[in-house]
Amino acid sequence: NIFANMPRGLSCLASPEVQEAKYETPSLSELHRLMWTKKGTNNHMDEVHPRIYIGNMYAAKDKRTLQAHNITHVLNAADGKFNVNTGPSFYRDTSITYHGVEAFDMPSFDLSPFFYPAANFIKKALSSPTGNVFVHCAMGLSRSSTLVLAYLMIHENMTLADAITTVSANRNVSPNEGFLEQLRRLDRKLHCH
């Protein structure tokens, strides 16, 4: 086997038959370069993929703006009383469906257990033809973008590099180093055979 001497987990084959088409999860420095070379914005709220918006706590608390963008679902990646304390009761006078993830923007925080529940929430929101989902944290840079990237990888079959390119074309995002490593592990799991 010509791949026997390669480090485990670094090189991935698209299929055993097609040995030329190999995909490798990018290094942290390559991922940073992808994020820093785009011309995204940092508005309170940006559409980063059809019907998926990323933003900050100001947009999350502005029900009028959410309704103007036809937001039907809110995913708060900074839920809890020490973060952005909105919750389902904050949106009770709207038709918004709420999902909260109590995450902290620290490289040591393991966000990966929330990847699939958050991705499934986004997918369910988009399954309605009129569903728009708003994913936010405090600044709309790290936690929220990490969960959207995970969704694109899990349900849209994108590689991590493709997901970052897609999102950062419309918004400047910057998952912390720990979250990027967790996304790299997910990328290897999804795209390495």
CATH number, domain at 129?
A: 3.90.190.10
Q: How many domains does the chain have?
A: 1
Residue 61 lies in a domain: yes
Q: Is 192 a catalytic residue?
A: no
Structural domain including 109 reads 12-191
Confidence of residue 34 (pLDDT cuts 50, 70, 90): confident
Q: Would you say residue 6 lies in a domain?
A: no
Confidence of residue 15 (pLDDT cuts 50, 70, 90): very low
4 occurs within a structural domain: no
175, part of any domain: yes
pLDDT at 33: 85
Kindly state whether residue 60 falls inside one of the protein's structural domains. Answer: yes
Whole-number Å distance between alpha carbons of 104 and 20: 41
What pLDDT was estimated at residue 133?
A: 98
Does any domain span residue 74?
yes
Give the pLDDT band of residue 16 (cuts 50, 70, 90): very low
Which of the following is catalytic: 12, 66, 74, 137?
A: 137
Mean pLDDT value across the chain: 88
In a domain, 49, yes or no: yes
Asked whether the predicted pLDDT for residue 56 surpasses 80, the reply is yes
Is 98 contained in some domain?
yes
